[in-house]
Structure 1
Amino acid sequence: MMRKYAAEAIGTFWLTFGGCGSAVMAAAFPEVGIGLLGVSFAFGLTVLTMAYAIGHVSGCHLNPAVTVGLAAGGRFPTNQIAPYVGAQVIGAVIGAAILYLIASGAPGFSTAGGFAANGYADHSPGKYGLVAAFLAEFVLTMMFLFIIMGSTHGKAPTGFAPIAIGLGLTLIHLISIPVTNTSVNPARSTGPALFAGGWAIGQLWLFWVAPLLGGVVGGFLYRWLSEEPSAPIVGDKTAALRP
């Protein structure tokens, strides 16, 4: 099991470092900034690459909301939720820490811009309020679980799940970066918030509660919709591609 936990920590490190790193260091870089589209693809690519790299080890959840949602959908044992979530949060914090060390090497660096933290109201990129932010995070996480459970079902096309999941996360970011800077992942939100401090920590509760609730509803919804159950996603050699 330690290999599974290590895989989750490494994968969530990559998601946080790669996705948030693109936002912090490359999104508005003079003249060649990658912008919202580039950041959205960066997050999607971190999940796609890790799904192929560690899916056969841990199932490649990289997200407490995914772990809880898969458990709600009957695809993951409940007694493994806590260690998986702990590994994910550790990986995200390490990813944010290394990102901070690199980004702080630039002249004039400051976390005052948010350090890719998630927020609502005055700290939403588009100044969206609490209710709008909560609803966006809830619905988008619910649909993310729906995509994950459908693409990894035993009757889904073999080998394409990481592509569907990665592009699904890309689409989610394209929709919601202006609303909350996009979380749908409590671990990803926690890492940057610890370094941004202040308001980011004060608003972090929403980016745990809304995604976790959305993940549970998404898991239950697909479990009800599916014509038959699929094998658990716990890290067997085909888990990320076709359980």
Structure 2
Amino acid sequence: MLTTISWEPVRRACRLRHPIVRETLAELVGTMTLVFIGNSVIANNAVNAMNNEALGYGVALAISVFATGGVSGGHVNPAVTVALSLAGRCQLNRVLPFVLAQYIGGFIGAALTHGLYFDLFKKDPGRYSTLYGIFATYPELNRDFKLQNISLGGAFLDQVMGTALLMYGIMAITDKRNTNVPKGVVPLAIGVTLFGVITCSSSNTGAALNPARDFAPRVYSYIIGYKDVFKYCDHFWWVPIVACHLGAVIGALVYLLAIELHHPTGQHEDEDKAVLDVDADSAAAARSRRGHRGSAGPVRQGAARPYREPAYELSGRENRAYEVDDEPRAYSGRRGDSRSGRDRFADDYM
């Protein structure tokens, strides 16, 4: 009889039972995966120029969200976590542990990239080459390591707009009351969104779009010997931290205020339906005044309509349904009122 190895005893012994601890670990591993794959793609391009950083980071994000989305939501980005908490999609007690885990994961991911391309870095023992660019993002430099084609303010705006666009896409993809993207497609959709954002803006600053993807690996590159990474580009290092957080909040609020808050739900659906009914009644009254005798929609008190057969379902002052036909019929809506349905209709609604 064929048997399989059972991990159930290990699972029972090692399983993290506290949800915050379990989700925080998922964020650490997810961000580590994102940075490891993404930075390794950049390192690979340093050896064999293929110019596929955008695709590499898009796939890295999709894999990370596939791995952790069902546990923690797959934020893998401090700016995304903070923005989701402000939008009401992430509990506030998750923000601090998630953010710390994401920075730690980014640092470990950078270390894994260093290990994968250890021989490449051995060729630069004095740390004088541009291999520091594997770990963090930098705008284009001149010979004095100053900003060349973009100002510091322009770099800040680039990161704000890029992260806002990324966050806007994430909000839309994960909004179940919008297009309701299937759960299994969400990671791919988010990865494609990142690919698009990096493709449209990477030439400005390198498109960090994620503080944990930039700052933590930058710290690692400083530790292994690249001592000027916090001085390059007019001290650019703080821009991906501040600008990405600001941009993510802007992107989330734009989607929330422009789209998500306007989805009809519950009582609001009834209100929207009532508005449509009023509009239909107004159109019916206008057609009646022009002499048309086509279909006129629901009847409303005060709306002039010609007599039609065979029946009406009315919700007027009595909130009772009755029929109108050619034969006189006693109306029982009011005591002592023996007028026919046609007379009652003519008196009350014509």
Are the counterparts in 1 of residues 137 and 205 from structure 2 also a CA contact under 8 Å?
yes
Of 166, 170, 179 in structure 1, the residue corresponding to residue 204 of structure 2 is 179
Of 32, 38, 41 in structure 2, the residue corresponding to residue 19 of structure 1 is 38
Q: Which residue of 2 aligns with 1:200?
A: 229
Q: Which residue of 2 aligns with 1:240?
A: none
Q: Which residue of 1 aligns with 2:129?
A: 112
Distance 1:179 1:55, change over 3 A: same
Of 182, 186, 191 in structure 2, the residue corresponding to residue 158 of structure 1 is 182
Alpha-carbon separation, structure 1, partners of 2:129 and 2:219: 13
Give the drift of 1:67: 0.4
Are the counterparts in 2 of residues 119 and 200 from structure 1 also a CA contact under 8 Å?
no
Of 21, 34, 38 in structure 2, the residue corresponding to residue 2 of structure 1 is 21
**Residues 110-168 of structure 1, C-alpha deviation per residue, up to 9 Å, x if partnerless?**
47312332224636897422112111110111111111111011122223221221011
Alpha-carbon separation, structure 2, partners of 1:73 and 1:27: 38
Distance 1:199 1:23, change over 3 A: same
Range with greater deviation from structure 2 (83-92 or 94-103): 94-103
For normalisation by structure 1, the TM-score amounts to 0.85
Distance 1:6 1:125, change over 3 A: farther
Q: CA RMSD in A?
A: 2.2
1:1-243 pair list within 5 angstroms: 1-24=20-43, 26-30=44-48, 33-35=49-51, 38-106=52-120, 107-109=122-124, 110=127, 112-113=129-130, 114-116=132-134, 117-120=136-139, 122=141, 127-155=149-177, 156-159=180-183, 160-197=185-222, 198-201=227-230, 202-225=235-258, 226=260, 227-228=262-263
**Residues 44-69 of structure 1, C-alpha deviation per residue, up to 9 Å, x if partnerless?**
00111222221000000000010011
Would you tell me which structure has more helix in proportion to its own residues? 1
Alpha-carbon separation, structure 2, partners of 1:126 and 1:66: 30
Distance 1:34 1:224, change over 3 A: same
Alpha-carbon separation, structure 1, partners of 2:84 and 2:169: 11
Are the counterparts in 1 of residues 140 and 204 from structure 2 also a CA contact under 8 Å?
no
Are the counterparts in 1 of residues 152 and 236 from structure 2 also a CA contact under 8 Å?
no
Where do 4+ consecutive residues of structure 1 move more than 6 Å?
none
One-letter amino acid of the counterpart of residue 103, structure 1: Y
Q: Which has the higher contact order (CA 8 A, sep 6+)?
A: 1
Alpha-carbon separation, structure 2, partners of 1:124 and 1:86: 31
Are the counterparts in 2 of residues 124 and 178 from structure 1 also a CA contact under 8 Å?
no
One-letter amino acid of the counterpart of residue 17, structure 1: F
The total of aligned residue pairs comes to: 225
Alpha-carbon separation, structure 1, partners of 2:146 and 2:62: 27
One-letter amino acid of the counterpart of residue 129, structure 2: A
Distance 1:229 1:54, change over 3 A: farther
Distance 1:224 1:212, change over 3 A: same
Alpha-carbon separation, structure 2, partners of 1:98 and 1:111: 21
Task: Point out where structure 2 has 5 or more consecutive residues left out of the alignment.
Answer: 1-19, 266-350
Give the drift of 1:171: 1.2
For normalisation by structure 2, the TM-score amounts to 0.60
Task: Point out where structure 1 has 5 or more consecutive residues left out of the alignment.
Answer: 231-243
